[in-house]
Amino acid sequence: MTKLHDLANMGQAIWLDFIQRSLMESGQLQALIDQGLRGMTSNPSIFDKAISKSGDYDEDLAKLAAEGKSPEAIYEALAVEDIRNAADLLRPVYDATQGLDGYVSLEVSPLLANDTQGTLAEARHLHALVNRPNIFIKVPATPAGVPAIEALISEGINVNVTLIFSLSQYEPIANAYIAGLEQRVNRGQDISMMASVASFFVSRVDTAVDKELEKLGHQELQGVAAIANARCAYALYQRLFGSERWQRLAERGARVQRPLWASTSAKNPAYRDVIYVEQLIGPQTVNTVPMETLLAFMDHGCVAPTLEAGMDEAAEQLQKIASLGIDLEQITAKLQADGVDAFIKSFRSLIDTVAAKAAR
């Protein structure tokens, strides 16, 4: 038994926020699965680093380029192969947990973040192309993403909702998931194997709020906002998925949309390197971590039910920060917009890298 197995027994799954071909071909991913890893996530930044900073893809890239494929088509082919291979390795986890875990996430193009119909079309395309039961299509929690999420769930496509920073961004997402399931029920369709996660970005909240606290001379509140924000989000999750509306779906076999803690590496070197894992351990949650954080937690992380233990204090902590004139709603809105922009930048860099390698 490892710490990852201990977390699973507490109701929390650890997923890896990383993908690269050599991770699978070397057997490292299988070794991590054997140690209790229960899923994987990817995004444009991860694929950009994987393809630009390794030679793992060069041979296949050259073949695809020789076939006259565009850089976008080459990237899609490379990414889809990785997602399929990872999904196949994680399929035993999916089967053993009856569809609770064992997922791999593939994101729609960030260029479509504000395009509902474009998001829907690409999500359907990627879902059909990968053709595995244990994949999530990642869709951002932008205003345009909300109706796309509801439609995809109603069509039977499992969704990882990304780039959530605030409660106001989260609640429409949870309601979209519930509404999508209700549409399926109304059509007499099965909902027992539908799944979704709502990905809250954690450490970036501290990075932004800590800067404001530094300006105001209130360093004693630094390192508080992100965990308090996540705990308040979990409290809202409990209310939404404890409602009578949800219970009607649960009676038909529906699974909750689990909160997923993302961006959980400690950006501030003054903080414990596993702070955003150790402080957010609770039932019906997922934590997706980069490789460095995963290995650090397996080495020296503490396993304890911390998430609910601090929930009463969390709202008070956020109120203290607000009383200083720090507008968390404004900060989190900017973080989401910046997150979309960062993914667009990574995606364009990725396509440029593929184009340059293809030309060579």
Catalytic residue ranges: 138
Which helix H or strand E contains 297, and what residues bound it?
Answer: helix 291-300
Cα 275 from Cα 203, distance rounded (Å): 10
Q: Which amino acid is at 344?
A: I
Cα 20 from Cα 82, distance rounded (Å): 7
Q: Is 87 exposed, middle or buried (0-12, 13-18, 19+ CB in 10 A)?
A: buried
| CA distances for 280 relative to 9, 39, 102, 197, 210, angstroms | 15, 18, 21, 16, 19
The answer to whether the beta carbons of residues 136 and 126 sit under 8 Å apart is no
Q: Return the closest-CA partner of residue 103 out of 282, 250, 288.
A: 288
Cα 118 from Cα 309, distance rounded (Å): 42
From the CB of residue 192, how many other CB atoms can be counted at a distance below 10 Å? 11
Structure tokens at 139: 């869709």
Interhelix angle 116-130/71-96, nearest 10 degrees: 70
Cα 201 from Cα 335, distance rounded (Å): 9
